[in-house]
């Protein structure tokens, strides 16, 4: 399984506070698209740079023209899914030349993911969500690792779901999406294109009002929603890159700020992007869900075939050796500590890290006490789900204690001072 949004949450630099983002939207409410884009690409909206992403679709020339005015050498990311119309690839060259853009980077899917999950190239037909995940979400996730967010060409009028789109929004993985054209409609786009004599996508002239991959794009008939030609006949309206990992369109940050933050990672409490599998919930189409180990064993084939980021829940009594090397396919593993006196979870962590070389997120969960924290670190945990208020307070104050009584050797690796471990790095 390739990179995860959660991994980004770990590496992303601090984003503006909830209030700052609300103020930013207020400040730019009346501003034109160029001002919003300029602020995104050259201002201080985020400590890490904001990426420019373009589909080179029907309306893309507007934003790209604005980019060229701000900086023609700006990197522009394009998701080369391998399923585009030949006309789109041609249009990229035409647009680059017309606008003088020098730095268009193609993002391609991981060939191993494609070989494993879409060997016949027809996944779009049977499971378009997974197809988009492999060909769009994962490559974009990987490319955005060094960015604090990205620019999109989404507009409010395009679909009902986008009707409340702000200029600046926060995703649950703490990134900022910038939508300079959020308030634009078709007439605005057409007027801008005409005023600046911008080349049209060859398929736009043939009735394709929203252009994506060839198998999933069709002509839009008069009176239809402009995006109705995408995934026609399927229960799908977005490709996944515009969803947050809970499957919802990213909302402005005020909603995020209201969720309790119990996940401690990299020295701070951060938004938790995962949930547990519900009782009797089907194991199909899961993403960022922790699955109990017994459910995994019963549905192993189906879960192993899911290309998205999945997690596992281990409880006392579960046989970690039965999981073995398969642990590596999970992006996150939760080890439950139902009672302070039950130490089996520590051994599970050691086994996963030392015997099975598990490198993903390893979470301890339970009524975690401050005194346990150093032992969790020592055994390889790099995240804690903390409900105990006293422990929360101690963690917030960097009061983590230390391991001064080694009950067991820690294996071949050298002991590393607690303060130098990634777990303890506090984002500045």
- Binding-site residues sit at 131-132, 213, 216
Q: Residue 385 Cβ, how far from ligand SF4 at the closest point, in Å?
A: 33
Closer residue to ligand SF4 (CB): 136 or 177: 136
**Comparing C-alpha atoms, which of 318, 275, 281 is closest to residue 302?**
281
3-class DSSP state of 131:
helix
Which one is catalytic: 6, 37, 239, 314? 239
Q: Does the annotation mark 379 as catalytic?
A: no
Q: Residue 159 Cβ, how far from ligand SF4 at the closest point, in Å?
A: 16
Closer residue to ligand SF4 (CB): 81 or 372: 81
**Longest Cα–Cα distance in the chain:** 74
Which residue numbers belong to the known binding site for [4Fe-4S] cluster?
Answer: 131-132, 213, 216
Quote the distance between the C-alpha of residue 421 and its chain's center: 24
Q: Which of 199, 202, 215, 257 binds ligand SF4 (CB under 6 A)?
A: 215
Report if residue 8 touches ligand SF4, rule: CB under 6 A.
no
Return the residues of window 118-137 that contact ligand SF4 according to CB under 6 A: 124, 128, 131-132, 135-136
Work out the number of other CB atoms within 10 angstroms of the CB of residue 156.
Answer: 18
3-class DSSP state of 53:
strand
Report if residue 242 touches ligand SF4, rule: CB under 6 A.
no
Closer residue to ligand SF4 (CB): 216 or 256: 216
3-class DSSP state of 405:
coil
What does the angle CA 306 – CA 81 – CA 85 come to, to the nearest 5 degrees? Answer: 135
- Asked whether the beta carbons of 141 and 5 are under 8 A apart, the reply is yes
Report if residue 353 touches ligand SF4, rule: CB under 6 A.
no
Q: Give the ranges where 219-354 is alpha helix by DSSP (H).
A: 253-257, 293-298, 300-304, 320-323, 344-350
Report if residue 213 touches ligand SF4, rule: CB under 6 A.
yes
Report if residue 216 touches ligand SF4, rule: CB under 6 A.
yes
**Comparing C-alpha atoms, which of 306, 311, 362 is closest to residue 337?**
362
Q: Residue 124 Cβ, how far from ligand SF4 at the closest point, in Å?
A: 4
Report if residue 229 touches ligand SF4, rule: CB under 6 A.
no
Q: Where are the beta strands (DSSP E) in 162-307?
A: 168-170, 176-178, 263-265, 268-270, 275-276, 289-292
Return the residues of window 358-377 that contact ligand SF4 according to CB under 6 A: none
The partner residues of 106 in beta bridges, in order of sequence, read 78
CA distances (Å), origin 214, targets 89, 210, 292, 321: 12, 11, 39, 45
Report if residue 212 touches ligand SF4, rule: CB under 6 A.
yes
Q: Residue 123 Cβ, how far from ligand SF4 at the closest point, in Å?
A: 7
- Asked whether the beta carbons of 187 and 215 are under 8 A apart, the reply is no
Return the residues of window 49-88 that contact ligand SF4 according to CB under 6 A: 81, 83
Which residues have a catalytic role annotated? Answer: 239
Task: Give me the residues that bind ligand SF4 (CB under 6 A), please.
Answer: 81, 83, 124, 128, 131-132, 135-136, 212-213, 215-216, 239
């Amino acid at each position: 399984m390739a990179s995860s949004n959660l991994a980004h949450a770990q590496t992303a630099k601090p984003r503006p506070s909830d209030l700052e983002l609300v103020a930013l939207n207020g400040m730019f409410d009346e501003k034109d698209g160029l001002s919003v884009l300029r602020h995104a690409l050259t201002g201080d909206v985020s400590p890490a740079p904001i990426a420019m992403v373009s589909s080179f679709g029907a309306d893309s020339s507007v934003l790209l023209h604005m980019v060229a005015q701000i900086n023609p050498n700006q990197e522009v990311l394009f998701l080369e899914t391998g399923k585009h119309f030949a006309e789109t690839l041609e249009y990229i060259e035409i647009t680059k030349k017309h606008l003088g853009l020098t730095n268009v980077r193609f993002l391609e899917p991981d060939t191993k993911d494609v070989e494993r999950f879409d060997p016949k190239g027809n996944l779009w037909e049977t499971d378009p969500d997974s197809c988009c995940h492999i060909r769009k979400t994962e490559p974009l996730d990987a490319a955005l690792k060094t960015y604090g967010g990205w620019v999109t060409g989404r507009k409010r009028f395009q679909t009902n779901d986008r009707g409340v789109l702000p200029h600046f929004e926060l995703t649950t993985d703490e990134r900022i999406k910038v939508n300079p054209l959020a308030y634009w409609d078709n007439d605005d786009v057409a007027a801008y294109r005409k005023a600046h004599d911008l080349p049209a996508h060859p398929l736009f002239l043939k009735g394709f009002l929203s252009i994506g991959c060839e198998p999933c794009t069709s002509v839009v008939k008069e009176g239809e929603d402009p995006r109705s030609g995408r995934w026609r006949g399927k229960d799908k309206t977005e490709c996944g890159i515009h969803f947050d990992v809970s499957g919802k369109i990213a909302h402005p940050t005020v909603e995020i700020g209201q969720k309790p933050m119990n996940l401690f990672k990299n020295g701070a409490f951060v938004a938790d992007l995962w949930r547990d599998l519900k009782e009797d919930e089907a194991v199909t189409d899961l993403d960022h869900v922790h699955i109990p180990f017994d459910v995994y064993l019963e549905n192993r084939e189906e879960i192993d075939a899911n290309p998205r980021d999945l997690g596992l829940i281990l409880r006392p009594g579960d046989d970690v050796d039965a999981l073995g090397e398969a642990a590596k396919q999970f992006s996150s593993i939760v080890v439950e500590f139902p009672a302070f006196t039950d130490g089996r979870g520590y051994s599970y962590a050691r086994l996963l890290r030392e015997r099975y070389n598990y490198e993903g997120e390893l979470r301890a969960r339970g009524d975690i006490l401050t005194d346990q924290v150093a032992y969790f670190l020592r055994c390889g945990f790099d995240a804690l789900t903390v409900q105990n208020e006293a422990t929360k307070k101690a963690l917030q104050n960097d009061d983590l204690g230390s391991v001064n009584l080694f009950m067991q050797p820690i294996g071949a690796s050298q002991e590393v001072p607690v303060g130098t471990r990634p777990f303890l790095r506090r984002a500045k």
